[in-house]
Structure 1
């Protein structure tokens, strides 16, 4: 009898658990919304977690298989969310109904991730609006000119490093593209964000580079378990004080910012970097400047909204100050390294495009007549801008742009079917569905920079290029990212040609790891004659 009771109890518990983890699985079915069938507990995440399919491939397939479907139901573990694929609905949620979709998702309910939760990226509602308005003047064209020479110095150091490697190997250097660009972009962000001159190319063991690798260690099973816990069981994760960033790393960045600001104030030292701009913002001296030359910043540049242009002064906590430097550092090196990785791969496999880009670089150098490249001249390089834009179209570093609904909002599929996004639901915008739709970009799988040249770029429909996001919450650092990527490419192509190596994977395949990168992006650099 006791055996039967035990079996009944076990079956009852298993059934109860099954009903609990699948209780939301019919959410979209009941509302007549197309959706991807979820796996109990794991939702639509299991194929990615098992590395059966990469995130970009999943989004590409979604855009292809549901091309005429403006929104699709999707499950992040047990939580139903919405994937939006329509430029019209993206415009509605990011512009017209922006007040209902101000915030990003964040990391569950944990409040112990000081750097993340105090950064502009994860701030919410009015607190975010105040901080955006405070920081926006730090990312105008005028401020980019101020930091231009710092970035250029890092690019020149990269050329020197690659030249040393080539000279020691008969004029050739075989390198993993992501590793090379992660190191140089870390150098750039270290000098521009923290005022530190490091050399990650020659000294990858320095503290900045070592700590940067610990911030989001996507390849670590422990990191992924923490992330899953904070997503699936946010209250328990908060109670257990689970944090994605190691405490020692958090303290390192907090102390770095605090010590630097203290030194600047004591010595009245000035340096044209983000720390200096934060000091000005803290003192209420950072103002939004009208830059008449901002229209030269490039097609992909995000124009600041009225929210960002408002002026105001606020009191800062130490954690908030560190948080802004931290997120600038993280976004600046990670996403730009991703962009440069794909750019180098594309140049290696398409020598014709590389020749056109090199030709523009040579023409620019000839006009400079021995002078060094300036911000204004770099921003006027049309083919370089078009090449970068096409990289951003085909390989958007932010593979899914998220928002959280704060008020029930109704959307329409254009065929008379409506769906009310409930308060609290997360929404993802799928850039691959838009960027690879032949309705907006003919022959979308072909890499073609001419889409963004001359009259062609005027034909691109609004809200069909969303690599840096859309609306008031779009990427605040687009100008810096574009300047950094263009300057690094300018310098490397001026001195080296890029080629496929014996280990380059052709055709391009997206890595099934968590990071967005091409599989086997091993390239050869050769010194130009």
Structure 2
């Protein structure tokens, strides 16, 4: 009898859970909005669970679904949570700019108790702390400050040239290499020196600690895929499941490094106009009145900013460089045009490009912008709708008779928008001419946002763009790249990471071809 009762209770509980999910999964149908039919229990995340697609790429698939081409939004279910994929540019503008005060937080978050570095950094921290941190860090990323960092970046660019020179002893020699790794080693060294005043030496030593840690923190694995999924799409479970955005090993490494560098900087009173200077300044500011609340009273707050800046800084620029080299290898005539522009600039400047000169190279800018269109490092943006006390909820009229509900996640499919034939003719073709001065005027602003738009846009975009341009210049000034038998014919993205990464090595042939002869100047 007891067994029968137990089975009855189990069946009853499972039935109740199933009915609860079914009720949640009828939300968009009841509200009269277009939606993607969900699977039982897991909603619209089946392809992510099966590791067939990253969530960002799934969002872009929803965006491109033929049945939804005339819709302004599409309803989906992240497990059981109703969410919206925004398709209409005017609504995207509302989310990111016009009604930013209602969408100022990401939907994703980290555990404030078990993941201090994840929850305190600028990427995940929530308002009002986000606004305060953003205001404090903005001075690091002005054009004036980036210009002051440029000589340090040139030193790393010289290291990149030396690294390549070691592999090509004679004119015309060639070698096949994994270009993403070379680019990541360059950007790792660059970020380490301009942000922390540390010589990481990744180009000289592929097993250098900074490179090892960077490789692991965004590495694609089943375990990390689970962490990303929970942090971004099941945020209420981050504490229960003890999810960490940064691994324990990386957290310890960055904590030890930043604390050591800050102590040295305070002891010597050295000023380098970098991120560490700002963090030291915040610590001094907090010490002036210990009784007054200040974010910098929490040391992990300071370390968290450094941690996310390093992670984002090396990954965005290295991906842009690597995908750029791949596309230029496929179209040698475009590569030749870019190399010619680089060579002419080097001759004009006597062998070393000034900050102003590299930023004035028109075709280089067009190439980088087109790379970022095809390969946005973060293929989606996430926000959470927040009701404002005393004000009516945001309506989706004239598109739908629906008012947003507090806590609703919204997703913007950056990858899908940037490959939509409605805005980009022949969208999968690499064509820098889209970004010529004449053609830029006709670009739909909401359909191009590799760094996001509005107040929550990427704070380090200037540095990211400059690093990518500088790296390409110093690779292509004495070399060209071409495809070889080992170059992947098809572009497939890794399903286990939230950033856009190839699922295979990016192998290209690098050929020594000195366009610019320093001795001749």
1:527 to 477, 499, 512: 512
- What is the deviation of 1:166? 2.9
- What is the deviation of 1:88? 0.7
Query: What's 1:445 paired with?
Result: 428
Distance (Å, rounded) in 2 between the aligned partners of 1:133 and 1:232: 27
Distance (Å, rounded) in 2 between the aligned partners of 1:216 and 1:518: 13
Matched, 1:397 2:382: no
Query: What's 2:180 paired with?
Result: 178
Query: What's 1:199 paired with?
Result: 201
Report the more deviating stretch, 354-363 or 517-526: 517-526
- What is the deviation of 1:16? 2.8
1:349 to 299, 312, 330: 330
Check 1:443–1:213 CA distance in 2 against 1; reply closer, same or farther (3 A cut): closer
- What is the deviation of 1:279? 2.8
SS of equivalent residue, structure 1 residue 410 = coil
- What is the deviation of 1:97? 1.0
- What is the deviation of 1:213? 3.2
Distance (Å, rounded) in 2 between the aligned partners of 1:212 and 1:75: 33
Distance (Å, rounded) in 2 between the aligned partners of 1:387 and 1:204: 28
Distance (Å, rounded) in 2 between the aligned partners of 1:461 and 1:492: 32
Alignment map for 1:283-362 (pairs within 5 Å): 315-362=296-343
Check 1:89–1:235 CA distance in 2 against 1; reply closer, same or farther (3 A cut): closer
Query: What's 1:249 paired with?
Result: 250
Distance (Å, rounded) in 2 between the aligned partners of 1:247 and 1:508: 32
Query: What's 1:299 paired with?
Result: none
Deviations 1:212-251 (A, max 9, x none): 23434431x3333444555676556424644343334323
Matched, 1:81 2:83: yes
Check 1:170–1:383 CA distance in 2 against 1; reply closer, same or farther (3 A cut): closer
SS of equivalent residue, structure 2 residue 403 = strand
TM-score by length of 2: 0.88
Report the more deviating stretch, 316-325 or 376-385: 316-325
SS of equivalent residue, structure 2 residue 348 = helix
Check 1:36–1:457 CA distance in 2 against 1; reply closer, same or farther (3 A cut): same
Check 1:407–1:497 CA distance in 2 against 1; reply closer, same or farther (3 A cut): same
Deviations 1:346-365 (A, max 9, x none): 11111111111111111111
Query: What's 2:475 paired with?
Result: 492
Matched, 1:385 2:385: no
Query: What's 2:156 paired with?
Result: 154
2:411 to 428, 433, 436: 428
- What is the deviation of 1:82? 1.1
Matched, 1:165 2:167: yes
Distance (Å, rounded) in 2 between the aligned partners of 1:4 and 1:230: 40
Report the more deviating stretch, 184-193 or 223-232: 223-232
- What is the deviation of 1:517? 2.5
Deviations 1:102-145 (A, max 9, x none): 11123355432111211111222121111111111110111111
2:113 to 111, 114, 121: 111
- What is the deviation of 1:56? 5.6
Distance (Å, rounded) in 2 between the aligned partners of 1:76 and 1:230: 12
Instruction: Work out whether residues 33 and 74 of structure 2, in 8 Å CA contact, stay in contact via their aligned partners in 1.
Output: yes
TM-score by length of 1: 0.87
Distance (Å, rounded) in 1 between the aligned partners of 2:171 and 2:308: 38
Report the more deviating stretch, 504-513 or 171-180: 504-513
Check 1:246–1:454 CA distance in 2 against 1; reply closer, same or farther (3 A cut): closer
Distance (Å, rounded) in 2 between the aligned partners of 1:32 and 1:397: 34
Check 1:224–1:397 CA distance in 2 against 1; reply closer, same or farther (3 A cut): closer
- What is the deviation of 1:438? 2.9
Report the more deviating stretch, 15-24 or 341-350: 15-24
Alignment map for 1:414-425 (pairs within 5 Å): 414-415=398-399, 417-425=400-408
SS of equivalent residue, structure 2 residue 34 = coil
Instruction: Work out whether residues 70 and 413 of structure 1, in 8 Å CA contact, stay in contact via their aligned partners in 2.
Output: no
Distance (Å, rounded) in 2 between the aligned partners of 1:481 and 1:268: 28
- What is the deviation of 1:491? 0.6
Deviations 1:322-358 (A, max 9, x none): 1111111011012222222211111111111111111
SS of equivalent residue, structure 2 residue 123 = coil
Distance (Å, rounded) in 2 between the aligned partners of 1:345 and 1:55: 24
Query: What's 1:302 paired with?
Result: none
- What is the deviation of 1:262? 1.3
Instruction: Work out whether residues 381 and 412 of structure 2, in 8 Å CA contact, stay in contact via their aligned partners in 1.
Output: yes
Q: What is the count of residue pairs matched by the alignment? A: 499
SS of equivalent residue, structure 2 residue 480 = strand
Query: What's 1:276 paired with?
Result: 277
Distance (Å, rounded) in 1 between the aligned partners of 2:171 and 2:181: 19
Distance (Å, rounded) in 2 between the aligned partners of 1:215 and 1:352: 37
Deviations 1:248-294 (A, max 9, x none): 4323212221221111111122334321243345556xxxxxxxxxx
Instruction: Work out whether residues 510 and 516 of structure 1, in 8 Å CA contact, stay in contact via their aligned partners in 2.
Output: yes
Distance (Å, rounded) in 2 between the aligned partners of 1:211 and 1:457: 39
Check 1:369–1:427 CA distance in 2 against 1; reply closer, same or farther (3 A cut): same
Query: What's 1:28 paired with?
Result: 28
Check 1:526–1:233 CA distance in 2 against 1; reply closer, same or farther (3 A cut): closer
Query: What's 2:288 paired with?
Result: none
Instruction: Work out whether residues 332 and 481 of structure 1, in 8 Å CA contact, stay in contact via their aligned partners in 2.
Output: yes
Instruction: Work out whether residues 86 and 434 of structure 1, in 8 Å CA contact, stay in contact via their aligned partners in 2.
Output: no
Query: What's 2:291 paired with?
Result: none
Distance (Å, rounded) in 2 between the aligned partners of 1:501 and 1:440: 33
Check 1:172–1:41 CA distance in 2 against 1; reply closer, same or farther (3 A cut): farther
